[in-house]
Structure formats: structure tokens, C-alpha cells
Amino acid sequence: MNRTLGVLISGRGSNLQAIIDAIVQGALDACIGVVISNRPEATGLERARRAGIETLCLGHRGYASREDYDRALVGALRARGVGLVCLAGFMRLLSPVFVEAFPNAILNIHPSLLPAFPGLEAQHQAWAHGVKISGATVHLVDRDLDAGPIVAQRAVPVMDDDTADTLSARILEQEHLLYPEAIRLVLSGDWSIEGRRFRLGAGSVAGT
Ligand code: GAR
């Protein structure tokens, strides 16, 4: 599989940093072709620059529609030979235009055990609901929000004295381990999709 990643961020970029670190340490055989943010103030852009990775800031103003913006994103990723798109705290809904441009080649990390607590502030939702176990999920992106086939998950117990913030911090530690691991699995190409299921070792993905 094409090992050039395009990482999309909107903010802090700690998951981006975990991916960069895994590559530098030789734990992940990939390279990051470009980091794109929809927000100029995203501190993750600085992390990318420090690592010598090309950055691009694509704000949505000036685009007539979500589809037009997504076409610009797709163009920027394709121009850099990106084979796998990694959403790392990218806080924008993607249209079918984007999803169909990279079929089964977009990953997202979400701070809950999906399908529980999709959407915004998942850690707070889980804490407020009173669940005893939450966690993090990496999944393939399809047309529906936080809903594509699940590649990998890590569970995080919720402690009695947790606040939403302490729980978020412990989930984030697991996210940083989970994301490079999930990218490695996907780049192996040794998987298939059966219904909603991401199955490892069950064959090779077409086109890889
Ligand atoms: C992470 O917790 C990620 O799971 C979450 O945003 C945070 C980004 O942090 N993503 C979502 O909630 C997507 N629905 P980071 O910028 O430090 O990687």
C-alpha cells in the first residue's frame, strides 16, 4: 500500500506528534507527505514544521460549498501522492466528495469506544453518562459520522474520582499508542472488509 500519509488537523496535534514520533523511532514504516489544517492557529502545524514536514492551511472561507472545499483538500493530498489520509482531531464534517476520493483509505481517531458517544466532546459525554469503561477508537471513514468499520480500539476505565478532564487525559495517552498501531495494520494491506467488519489477515485490499 502507498505509505505516504496526509494528516488533517484542526488544533493541538498531539496525535500527529505520536505519528511523527512512531515514524522517527522506526515503529511505523510510513512518511507524512503533508499536514493540512483548516485553522491557521492550530499548534499542530508547528509540530509538523519542526519535523520538517510540509504544512498547508486551508481555511473554508472563500469556498462556495463544503464540496468545493473538499475538492481542494483532495487536490492538495493527491498532488503530494498521499495514499492514506489520517484525521487527527480534524473538526470538520467531510462530504461524500472527499470520502469517495479515498475509498477505505481515510482513518479517524475518536475518543470513545464507538459506537458509543459519537460526535463532539465524546470524553465528556461518556463521563456525564456515568459509564465505567470508555476508550478510543480508530475507524475507517465512510459517509456517516464516526461510523465506519473499526480498525482498533483501546479501553480506558473510568475512575470514581475522574473529571471529564482527567478521563480525557488518560484516553489521550491511549490514543497516542493506538493511532500508530492502527495505521501500521492498515498499511500492511493484509485485511479486508466484510460487512462492517475490518478483518485482519483475511486477504489483501484491492489496489494495494
Ligand atoms: C483527540 O482526542 C481526538 O480523538 C479528538 O480530538 C482530539 C485531538 O487532539 N477527535 C475527535 O473528537 C473527532 N471526533 P490532538 O489535536 O491533540 O490530536
Q: What is the dihedral of CA 184, 4, 38, 137, to 10 degrees?
A: -10
The two most distant CA atoms of the chain are separated, in Å, by: 49
CA gap 4, 1 in Å, rounded: 9
Q: Separation of 161 CA from ligand 1 center, angstroms?
A: 23
* Statement: the pTM of the whole predicted model exceeds 0.75: yes
Say if residues 157 and 133 touch (Cβ distance below 8 Å): yes
Say if residues 117 and 41 touch (Cβ distance below 8 Å): no
C-alpha cell at 114: 464507538
Q: What percent of the chain has pLDDT over 90?
A: 95
Say if residues 67 and 97 touch (Cβ distance below 8 Å): yes
Q: Separation of 203 CA from ligand 1 center, angstroms?
A: 31
Residue nearest to atom 7 of ligand 1 (CA): 89
Residue type, 156: V
Residue nearest to atom 12 of ligand 1 (CA): 110
User: Taking the CA atoms of the chain, what radius of gyration do you get in angstroms?
Assistant: 16
Q: What is the pLDDT of residue 1?
A: 85
Q: What is the pLDDT of residue 202?
A: 58
The closest-lying atom of ligand 1 relative to the alpha carbon of residue 171 is: 2
Residue type, 113: L
3-state secondary structure of 108: strand
Q: What is the pLDDT along the chain (208 residues), one digit of tens a residue?
A: 899 999 999 999 999 999 999 999 999 999 999 999 999 999 999 999 999 999 999 999 989 999 999 999 999 999 999 999 999 999 999 999 999 999 999 999 999 999 999 999 999 999 999 999 999 999 999 999 999 999 999 999 999 999 999 999 999 999 999 999 999 999 999 999 999 999 999 566 644 4
Residues counted in the chain: 208
Domains, the chain, ordered by start? 4-111+136-153+175-196 (3.40.50.170)
Q: Separation of 63 CA from ligand 1 center, angstroms?
A: 25
Q: What is the pLDDT of residue 203?
A: 62
Task: Give, for ligand 1, the residue of 7, 10, 14, 87 to mutate: max count of ligand atoms closer than 8 Å to Cβ.
Answer: 14
